[in-house]
Amino acid sequence: MMDISNQKISDFEFILTLEIAGNIVDERHDLSIGALTMIKNENTFIIDFNQSFTTYIEAKDVTVIECHAPQQHFETLEDGTRYNEDFPDCKFDLSAAEMPTADHVLWLDGELEAEIKRMTLNGKLNETYSFSSNVIEWIDYES
């Protein structure tokens, strides 16, 4: 396994893929994808998505939404902690090495009136290193 301990999370390209039952391409503009929280022990990191592509696959009767994340923006405070005003409770202290083995990858702030069949987060560092994590909704995490 490749040693990624010296990598930063911003070195990764993130793609969130949602598979949704049926053809919702026409309603796509009404959806809010939101953000993901990655948790490993007490460490957290939020990835906010702002660009997406939607495709309907007739043979499977699913709509696939592929979301891409820009580089994360936060400021470093005097005490060394990271802060983002949109996510004030997140410590942004999850390391790149902890990311592939995160205990939970949670979907938050999304509003979707559809049946989600699967959500997957893919992180790609380069041609030889990538990881994939299943994503669950907050409601499933809290119950």
The confidence band for 110, taking pLDDT boundaries of 50, 70 and 90, is low
N-to-C CA span, the chain: 34
70 closest CA partner among 12, 113, 21, 110: 12
Share of the chain above pLDDT 70, in %: 89
Q: Is the pLDDT of residue 84 over 80?
A: yes
94-106, pLDDT tens digit by residue? 988 898 888 878 7
CB-side neighbour CA atoms (13 Å) of 81: 10
- Predicted confidence at residue 134, as pLDDT, reads 87
Q: Is the pLDDT of residue 143 over 70?
A: no
Q: Is the pTM of this model over 0.75?
A: yes
